Structure 1
């Protein structure tokens, strides 16, 4: 027993009782006894919930694929454990007692949580993960808009998408598939060409209306050019001007972006003319977010590739993803 620590006041006596109760609990725990009351078997809880919801032992037995006798036995076991009756019979059938009505919501919540936890575990066991790393512009413009279709076809695949500005440090990213931009000559990977690249100036329809083209040279002298200075993409403007025999503008009216995605968005927002690159601008041209005022396109010196580590070509999940992406018509 714990000796009184306080005087004889009511508060002191209550504190002594609390300390004694805690001492008894700890003593029981030291002897291997559980700190919690016995938990009813799940089968008994399921039987009770089904009977309470259907207000019938017969219908509960059918739902749980058991006999009515088995269901009755489970309910009696639960009532014996709790020391209360959970159901009473009335003229209209079976009714919950006050204790049964109090217990039902807690049982339904607990069984629901248990069911969801089991489902998550099973889903994780049957799911597979695929990690994909991509240049940000290609990912936003060419990959992400189509992933809903992939998810519908392959719902068991858990996708992990990583976007990068360049692949200068791609060895730092653990991935199964990479969408890369270049010549296709990389070490220790198998490269599958996705699509070539073509370049053409683009701007918003509203911007073009404000700067109608009367003379190609005069047009470029007066409009802001949106340049891209990126480790992933070369600027490209000089090559386009040379291929179309146009003298580069002498004006310094330029906006410089550090990535292609920003340059495209700047053009959509009416800030100027950027050198668009198919396939990155294809969707925006189709949606009339951008227009290409000149028919002359030039082919870029690089292309887009899907790359995978050598030796993983026959992995089923990788093959499914590659086949799916090529079926989109981008390849």
Structure 2
């Protein structure tokens, strides 16, 4: 047996087994899918063992692959933790923050200078992604999530509970049908969230009977895109106040009707239990709470 360990091939095997997908393994490793496939083939040729079988949904570990994969996964996770320890020696504290692109662009990033001004010794890295991250595996210190706050195995701290506001471009409101009550919104083109759920729920909450027009109109995957479409005058949008307040103050958006709708969902700062004990993490979450409190006061 060749004493030189094929570490790259072993990691390709470990990540592919972890994600059950060559494409996702390639994303985790920062290489192409072809490179991952090649490394796995070379490893299989060297060992004379088939490690994966292909399925309609990705790949599946063979019996041989199942026997060794857990151990390799633990080994590479331990290597990653050891690397973190080495990087931390004589290094400035670094925080990796994960949140969705809309929240990062509309709320977090515009305020971030106030934290770096307070703690210039801490380097902050913002990862804007719609994917649900694994805080331990993805080396994320704080995730800002929008939900009900129930995240098993993690510590979640309440930041703010936004409300949905019906908004549109001031120019469009000036020329469109007059809006004096919620039912008037049905006469307008409605801009939808990705699930087409917000408008029907809002109409129900304000006492408007079911109407198929409530679910019509273009839908947007991300709240930031929804806001941009409203600013461009494409219709009425229901957007969270954390995204709308500054746009309304600047005159890019206007409130179509003063009927905010509170939802059960809120924003939470989520951390691993061990991370929550680190002072830089604690300072960042305390700052988030301060900023969220200032926002809440401004909206009220």
TM above 0.5, yes or no, is: yes
Cα distance in structure 2, aligned partners of 1:162 and 1:308: 15
DSSP-derived class of the 2:139 partner: coil
CA contact (8 A) 2:107 2:243 kept: yes
Q: 103, 113, 124: which one pairs with 1:148?
A: 113
Measured against aligned partners, the alpha-carbon deviations of 1:183-211 in whole angstroms (never above 9, x if no partner) come to 00001111000001211211111111121
CA contact (8 A) 2:162 2:263 kept: yes
Partner of 2:264: 301
Gapped regions of structure 1 (runs ≥ 5): 1-123
Question: Could you state the TM-score of these two structures normalised by the residue count of structure 1?
Answer: 0.57
Where relative contact order (Cα < 8 A, 6+ residues apart) is larger, the structure is: 2
Larger Rg: 1
Partner of 2:228: 265
For these two proteins, the number of residue pairs brought into alignment is 205
The verdict on how the C-alpha distance between 1:289 and 1:248 changes in structure 2, with shifts beyond 3 A counting, is farther
Quote how far apart the aligned CAs of 1:166 are: 4.2
Q: Verify: 1:240 aligned to 2:202, yes or no.
A: yes
Partner of 2:14: none
The verdict on how the C-alpha distance between 1:218 and 1:170 changes in structure 2, with shifts beyond 3 A counting, is same
Partner of 2:168: 203
Cα distance in structure 2, aligned partners of 1:187 and 1:216: 42
Quote how far apart the aligned CAs of 1:139 are: 1.2
Measured against aligned partners, the alpha-carbon deviations of 1:121-150 in whole angstroms (never above 9, x if no partner) come to xxx945211100011111111100011112
Cα distance in structure 2, aligned partners of 1:164 and 1:303: 18
Cα distance in structure 1, aligned partners of 2:117 and 2:279: 18
The verdict on how the C-alpha distance between 1:250 and 1:220 changes in structure 2, with shifts beyond 3 A counting, is farther
Q: Verify: 1:292 aligned to 2:255, yes or no.
A: yes
Gapped regions of structure 2 (runs ≥ 5): 1-88
- What is the root-mean-square deviation of aligned Cα atoms in Å? 2.4
